[in-house]
C-alpha cells in the first residue's frame, strides 16, 4: 500500500493525442516527470518536436513526437500502425485528449464546423481507441487493466457557455460513449474513464479568457482556473494501479463550476 505501488506510473507506455500543447502537454509533463514513456501526437509536427524536446530535458521518462491527424480515417490508421510497430509488446494507456471547439450563434452555426467537431471529438476518439485495442490488450491484466482515458468536458455535463452547440453535443457524446466502451472492453482487461475539465488556460480558451478572464475565473467556486497539476494528477490517478477498479466513470476537475447553474 505504499504510494508508488498505488499511484506510480514509472515505465508505463502512454499515448496522448493532442499532446503538443494545452491540457495534453500538461498531462504529458506529469507522466514524463514520473518516469513514463509518452508518445505525443498532433497535426503540427514542429510543435510536437518542441514539446518533446522540452519534456525530455526534464529527465525521468521519455517523450516521443509523432505527426498525426485524428479528423479522418487515414490519419488515425497511419498513427495507430506506427504505434503498433514501435511498441510490439503493447501500450498501457491511451489518453484521447485531442479536441477542437467552435462557438457561433444558433442560426449561423456552419455544418462544416459541426462535422469537424464531431469527427475529431467523437469519431476520432472511437476509432483511435478501436485501432489501439490490440496494443492495450497486450499489457492489461485482470489485476491491473490497461486504460483508456477520454478527455471530455464539463460542457458535456452542463451548459457552461452560450453558442457551443456542436462542442456541447460532442462532449456529452464522448461521456456516454465511454460508458458503452467501458462495458465492451472490461472483458479485454481495459478500463475506460472520462475526465471532465472545467476552465484551463489553453489556446482553446484564449478567446473566452481575453473577453472576460475574471468572469471565467469567478465561475469556479474555488475562484481560479485549473492548473497543470490539477489535470496531470487526475490522469496519473486514472493510469495508476490505484484506479484499477474504476471503469465507466467521469471525474470532474472544475473547481466546482458545475455546482452552480448560472452561465
Ligand atoms: N482548456 C479547457 O479549459 C478545456 C476544458 C474542458 C475540456 N477541454 C478539452 O481538453 C482537450 C484539450 O484541449 P486544450 O484546451 O488543450 O486545447 P488546445 O490547446 O487547442 O489543444 C488541442 C490539441 O489537440 C490537437 N488537435 C486538434 N485537432 C487535431 C486533429 N485533427 N488531429 C490531431 N490533433 C489535433 C492540437 O494540435 P494541432 O492543432 O497541432 O493538431 C492540440 O495539441 C480537448 O479535448 C478539449 O475539448 C479543454
Q: What is the pLDDT of residues 120-164, one digit of tens each?
A: 999 999 999 999 999 999 999 999 999 999 999 999 999 887 889
pLDDT of residue 161: 79
Mutate to test the pocket of ligand 1, among 17, 21, 22, 113 (most ligand atoms within 8 A of CB): 22
Helix/strand/coil for 18: coil
Query: What's 166's domain CATH number?
Result: 3.40.50.720
What's the Cα-to-Cα distance from 174 to each of 8, 171, 206, 208, rounded to whole Å? 27, 5, 23, 23
Q: Is the pLDDT of residue 259 over 90?
A: yes
Mutate to test the pocket of ligand 1, among 99, 119, 253 (most ligand atoms within 8 A of CB): 99
Between the CA of 36 and the centroid of ligand 1 the distance, in Å, is: 21
The total number of structural domains in the chain stands at 1
CA distance 140 to 147: 8
Q: Tally helices (H) and strands (E) across the chain.
A: 9, 7
pLDDT of residue 11: 97
Catalytic (active-site) positions: 167
pLDDT of residue 260: 82
CA-closest candidate to residue 38, choices 23, 21, 17: 17
CA distance 119 to 195: 19
Q: What is the pLDDT of residues 51-100, one digit of tens each?
A: 999 999 998 999 999 999 999 999 999 999 999 999 999 999 999 999 99
Between the CA of 98 and the centroid of ligand 1 the distance, in Å, is: 4
pLDDT category of residue 262 using cuts at 50, 70 and 90: low
Q: Is the pLDDT of residue 211 over 60?
A: yes
pLDDT of residue 261: 65
Q: Which residues line ligand 1 (CB under 6 A)?
A: 18, 20-24, 42-44, 47, 68-71, 97-100, 120, 151, 153, 197, 199-200, 202-205
Hey, which bits of the chain come out as E strands? 13-17, 37-42, 62-67, 93-96, 146-151, 190-197, 250-253
Q: Give me the domain span that covers residue 40.
A: 3-259
CA-closest candidate to residue 92, choices 240, 195, 232: 240
pLDDT of residue 263: 53
Question: Which is the closest atom of ligand 1 to the Cα of 119?
Answer: 31
Mean pLDDT confidence for 1-30: 96
Amino acid at each position: 500500500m505504499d504510494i508508488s505501488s498505488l499511484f506510480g506510473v514509472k515505465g508505463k507506455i502512454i499515448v496522448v493525442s493532442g499532446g503538443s500543447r494545452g491540457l495534453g502537454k500538461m498531462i504529458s509533463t506529469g507522466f514524463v516527470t514520473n518516469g513514463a514513456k509518452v508518445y505525443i501526437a498532433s497535426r503540427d509536427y514542429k510543435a510536437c518536436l518542441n514539446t518533446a524536446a522540452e519534456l525530455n530535458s526534464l529527465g525521468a521518462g521519455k517523450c516521443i513526437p509523432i505527426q498525426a491527424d485524428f479528423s479522418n480515417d487515414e490519419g488515425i490508421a497511419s498513427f495507430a500502425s506506427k504505434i503498433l510497430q514501435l511498441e510490439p509488446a503493447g501500450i498501457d494507456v491511451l489518453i484521447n485528449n485531442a479536441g477542437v471547439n467552435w462557438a457561433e450563434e444558433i442560426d449561423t452555426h456552419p455544418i462544416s464546423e459541426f462535422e469537424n467537431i464531431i469527427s475529431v471529438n467523437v469519431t476520432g476518439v472511437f476509432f483511435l481507441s478501436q485501432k489501439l485495442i490490440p496494443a492495450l490488450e497486450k499489457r492489461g491484466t485482470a489485476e491491473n487493466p490497461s486504460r483508456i482515458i477520454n478527455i471530455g468536458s464539463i460542457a458535456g455535463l452542463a451548459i457552461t457557455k452560450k453558442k457551443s452547440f456542436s462542442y456541447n453535443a460532442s462532449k456529452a457524446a464522448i461521456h456516454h460513449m465511454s460508458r458503452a466502451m467501458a462495458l465492451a472492453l472490461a472483458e479485454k482487461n481495459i478500463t475506460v474513464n472520462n475526465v471532465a475539465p472545467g476552465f484551463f488556460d489553453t489556446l482553446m480558451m484564449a478567446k473566452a479568457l481575453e473577453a472576460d478572464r475574471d468572469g471565467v475565473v469567478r465561475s469556479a467556486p474555488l475562484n481560479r482556473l485549473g492548473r497543470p497539476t490539477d489535470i496531470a494528477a487526475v490522469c496519473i490517478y486514472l493510469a495508476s494501479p490505484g484506479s484499477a477498479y474504476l471503469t465507466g466513470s467521469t471525474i470532474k476537475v472544475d473547481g466546482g463550476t458545475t455546482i452552480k447553474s448560472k452561465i
